[in-house]
């Protein structure tokens, strides 16, 4: 406080006297009331501002304006009415100026906050507009963690973001289904076609090559028919996993449908050939389905850009052509060499030609005799299908039987084969020859409803009681868990027809399955007979098969016998019958009757020589 003026009574006192200061007075009630009113007046617009979620409401703006204009005027009036500026005992500006400055600071802070909140508001509205525009255009970009506000606008933004995220996930799934195979997860035809076209353009610019490989599974239809579609799907999934292991990251693996796969392989021809070798190696390992092992085989065809074609359609067609040639040759894989086009067209026209062959008598059954090792007599013969084409000559079975099985035409061929076998068996019986004829049927046949009834009708039409007929089914075809197939086999067996398991040792049939089947015979595959003398592994398999058959009361037949040494070894192991080139090559029906009669006649006169030969005492 400044010193007060000296009193007149003391004007004459000494100048050395100390100045006297007044003690500060406490604030008056008027001063406290004025300050409280001012505080309430300034706080009201701030509260209204905050209540307006960052925007000045109309009432807030009005209160703020009144405060800015009336506070100084009201203050002056209050000072005058309360007795002048001496209310506080000091200059009025010491009160007015701080209050005015406080007012300006509050107004400036409120304005700044209002501006910031307004900008935030417009940013959020802009975000919502952008999100809605992206949704309208089909572009879904969820923002997720960036939306962390708590007001109504932020909540609305999060709801829109959740909708965008759901739509994006749905679009992703739709895209996957549109471009991938739902069973295996591999690329489908649409995605493969797009990548081939892109690779063609890129390879043209860079003057590079790439390979296109078509792969078709062997015997897949048999797996589907015997073990069911669940097993077939399991095979396709496992094949897909193995294909992924065989290719590189830059390669594309696609499934076009069924058991057909295609690989797009950037790089020279050697890359495609290496991949083909890896695929065939990986597919050699059997697939386990429950307690059943399933062999997986495949044929692969390869075409190379630009040598074999410069567009997707040509490359696919020529790779497909090479694949069919690999299947016919059973070579595993083949690279298109420019000469298969005519053969491919011929192969595709084969279905119509097979129908003509069946109707025109072009099919024939040639029979290979079976020798009973204990007696030296011919006791049976296997019918082998032959096709004598009027233009192309003799067509090997390996060229048309796989195609017939894939197209389903094999069922019609099977009926003809069984009918011919039953007819010729009755003819042999009428000639006094006790020779049982065997014909081959497929796994699809025994799965077909009414197959047993068809066999019965054929036997009745041929006036045969079934004793001279045997149906051979591959081991992979008799391992079905189908109750219908098992019932069909039982009905056929009840007719007197014998059942034989062909190629035993290659299909992984279990002992339990063999016990359930009404089979009479096991046939040892010729691949084991070929290694009987020099391969200890083959000898063990042959010995085990013979022992198994004998313990189960089944006859055991070895096929593919080509020399006396093999025949002697099989006799010593206890095999019942043998067939092969060493006994006789397949022959026509007309030749078989005379050959069997001659053989029996010679054997009757030289029976002792036969047993000495088998014992190794005669050459």
- C-alpha span between 545 and 149 (Å, rounded): 78
Give pLDDT, residue 250: 93
Residue 605's pLDDT is: 76
**Could you please report the per-residue DSSP string of 211-236?**
EEEEEEEETHHHHHHHH-HHHHHHHH
Q: Does pLDDT of 210 surpass 50? A: yes
CA distance 342 to 321: 9
* pLDDT bracket for residue 149 (50, 70, 90): low
* pLDDT tier at 16, thresholds 50, 70, 90: very low
Give CA–CA dist 290/305, Å, rounded.
43
Q: Which pLDDT does position 7 carry in this prediction?
A: 46
pLDDT score of 608: 74
Work out the mean pLDDT of the chain and round it to a whole number. Answer: 79
pLDDT for res 363: 95
Long-range contacts of 600-603 (CB under 8 A, 24+ apart): 600/377, 600/378, 603/376, 603/377
Find the helix packing angle between 397-407 and 410-430, rounded to 10°. 120
Longest dimension (CA), the chain: 182
Contact between 182 and 436 under an 8 Å Cβ cutoff? The reply is no
| pLDDT beyond 60 at 237 | yes
**561-568 long-range contacts, Cβ below 8 Å, gap at least 24?**
561/529, 562/530, 564/613, 565/533, 566/529, 566/532, 566/533, 567/373, 567/614, 568/614, 568/616
Phi/psi of residue 548, nearest 5 degrees: -60, -45
pLDDT given at position 55: 47
- Give me the pLDDT at residue 169, please: 67
pLDDT at 344 over 60: no
Answer with the residue of higher pLDDT: 14 or 92.
92
Task: Please check the confidence at residue 50 and state whether its pLDDT lies above 50.
Answer: no
pLDDT at 92: 57
- Indicate if the pLDDT at residue 21 is higher than 50: no
The ranges assigned to domains in the chain are 24-121, 189-348, 360-519+583-613
Please tell me the total number of residues recorded for the chain in this structure. Answer: 619
pLDDT band at 99 (very low <50, low <70, confident <90, very high): low
pLDDT of residue 222: 73
Say how far apart CA 400 and CA 356 lie, in whole Å. Answer: 14
> From residue 558, how far is each of 208, 353, 370, 469, 500 by CA, in Å?
53, 34, 9, 19, 12
* CATH number listed for the domain at residues 189-348: 3.30.70.270
Distance of CA 266 to the CA centre of its chain: 22
Mean of pLDDT values over 354-360: 90
Asked whether the predicted pLDDT for residue 365 surpasses 80, the reply is yes
Which residues fall within 8 angstroms of residue 302, CB to CB, at 6 or more apart? 211, 212, 213, 214, 269, 272, 273, 276, 319, 322, 333, 334, 335, 336
Give yes or no for residue 284 having a pLDDT over 60.
Answer: yes
Instruction: Work out the burial of residue 245: count CB atoms within 10 Å of its CB; fewer than 13 is exposed, 13-18 middle, 19 or more buried.
Output: exposed
C-alpha span between 301 and 326 (Å, rounded): 7
Higher pLDDT, 421 or 108: 421
CA atoms within 13 A on the CB side of 64: 20
Residue 295: its pLDDT value, please?
A: 78
Q: pTM of the prediction?
A: 0.57
Fold of 360-519+583-613: TIM Barrel (3.20.20)
Long-range contacts of 614-619 (CB under 8 A, 24+ apart): 614/373, 614/376, 614/567, 614/568, 614/571, 616/568
Structure confidence by residue, pLDDT tens digits, 390-437: 888 888 887 788 778 777 788 899 999 999 999 999 999 998 999 999
Res 177: pLDDT: 62
Residue 95 has pLDDT above 70, yes or no: no
20 burial class (0-12, 13-18, 19+ CB within 10 angstroms)?
A: exposed
Residue 376: pLDDT over 50:
yes
Which whole number is the average pLDDT over 69-94?
Answer: 50
CA dihedral 96, 97, 101, 104 (to 10 degrees): 60
pLDDT at residue 476, as a whole number: 64
Q: What is the pLDDT of residue 2?
A: 46
The pLDDT of 574-586, averaged and rounded, is: 95
Q: Residue 439 above 70 pLDDT?
A: yes
Residue 175 has pLDDT above 70, yes or no: no
- Listed residue (451, 441, 446, 402) closest to 259, CA to CA: 402
Residue 306 has pLDDT above 60, yes or no: yes
Angstrom distances, CA of residue 479 to CA of 72, 79, 222, 515 = 106, 114, 11, 11
pLDDT band at 529 (very low <50, low <70, confident <90, very high): very high
Specify the pLDDT at position 155: 72
Q: Where are the beta strands (DSSP E) in 140-269?
A: 210-218, 252-257, 260-266
Q: How many CB atoms lie within 10 A of CB 24?
A: 10
Percent of the chain with pLDDT over 90: 38
pLDDT tier for residue 173 given thresholds of 50, 70 and 90: low
């Amino acid at each position: 406080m400044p010193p007060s003026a000296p009193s007149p009574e003391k004007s004459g006192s000494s100048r050395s006297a100390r100045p006297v200061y007044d003690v500060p007075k406490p604030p008056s009630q008027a001063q406290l009331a004025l300050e409280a009113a001012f505080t309430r007046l300034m706080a009201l617009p701030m509260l209204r501002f905050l209540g307006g979620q960052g925007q000045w409401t109309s009432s807030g703006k009005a209160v703020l304006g009144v405060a800015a204009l009336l506070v100084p005027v009201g203050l002056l009036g209050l000072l005058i009415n309360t007795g002048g500026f001496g209310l506080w005992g000091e200059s009025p500006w010491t009160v007015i100026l701080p209050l005015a400055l406080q007012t300006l600071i509050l107004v400036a802070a409120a304005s700044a906050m209002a501006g910031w909140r307004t900008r935030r508001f417009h940013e959020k509205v802009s975000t919502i507009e952008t999100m809605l525009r992206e949704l309208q255009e089909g572009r879904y970009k969820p923002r997720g963690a960036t939306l962390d506000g708590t007001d109504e606008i932020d909540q609305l933004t999060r709801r829109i973001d959740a909708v965008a995220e759901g739509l994006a996930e749905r679009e992703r799934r739709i895209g996957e289904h549109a471009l991938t195979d739902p069973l295996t997860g591999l690329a489908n035809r649409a995605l493969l076609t797009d990548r081939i076209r892109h690779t063609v353009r890129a390879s043209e610019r860079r003057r590079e090559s790439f390979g296109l490989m078509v792969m078709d599974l062997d015997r897949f239809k048999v797996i589907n028919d015997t073990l069911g579609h669940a097993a077939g799907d399991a095979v396709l999934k496992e094949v897909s996993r193995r294909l992924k292991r065989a290719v590189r990251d830059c390669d594309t693996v696609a499934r076009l449908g069924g058991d057909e796969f295609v690989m797009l392989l950037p790089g020279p021809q050697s890359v495609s050939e290496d991949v083909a070798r890896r695929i065939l190696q990986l597919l050699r390992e059997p697939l386990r389905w429950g307690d059943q092992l399933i062999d997986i085989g495949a044929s692969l065809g390869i075409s190379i850009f630009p040598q074999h074609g410069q567009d997707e359609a040509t490359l696919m067609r020529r790779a497909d052509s090479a694949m069919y040639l690999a299947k016919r040759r059973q070579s595993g894989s083949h690279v298109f060499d420019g000469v298969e086009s005519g053969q491919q067209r011929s192969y595709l026209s084969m279905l119509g030609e097979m129908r003509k062959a069946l109707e025109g008598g072009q099919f024939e059954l040639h029979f290979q005799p079976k020798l009973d090792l204990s007696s030296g007599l011919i006791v049976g013969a296997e019918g082998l299908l032959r096709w004598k084409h009027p233009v192309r000559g003799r067509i090997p079975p390996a060229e048309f039987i796989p195609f017939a099985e894939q197209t389903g035409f094999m069922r019609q061929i099977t009926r003809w084969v069984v009918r011919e076998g039953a007819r010729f068996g009755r003819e042999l019986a009428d000639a006094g020859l006790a020779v049982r004829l065997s014909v081959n049927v497929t796994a699809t046949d025994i799965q077909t409803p009414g197959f047993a009834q068809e066999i019965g009708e054929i036997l009745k039409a041929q006036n045969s009681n079934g004793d001279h007929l045997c149906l051979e089914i591959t081991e992979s075809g008799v391992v079905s868990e189908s109750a219908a197939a098992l019932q069909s086999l039982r009905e056929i067996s009840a007719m007197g027809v014998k059942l034989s398991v062909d190629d035993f040792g290659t299909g992984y049939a279990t002992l339990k399955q063999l016990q359930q089947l009404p089979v009479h015979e096991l046939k040892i595959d010729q691949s084991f007979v070929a290694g009987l003398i020099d391969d200890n592994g083959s000898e063990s398999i042959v010995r085990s098969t013979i022992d198994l058959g004998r313990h189960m009361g089944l006859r055991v037949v070895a096929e593919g016998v080509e020399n006396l040494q093999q025949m002697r070894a099989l006799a010593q192991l206890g095999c019942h019958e043998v067939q092969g080139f060493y006994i006789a090559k397949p022959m026509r029906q007309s030749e078989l009757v005379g050959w069997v009669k001659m053989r029996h006649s010679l054997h009757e006169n030289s029976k002792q020589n036969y047993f000495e030969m088998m014992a190794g005492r005669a050459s």
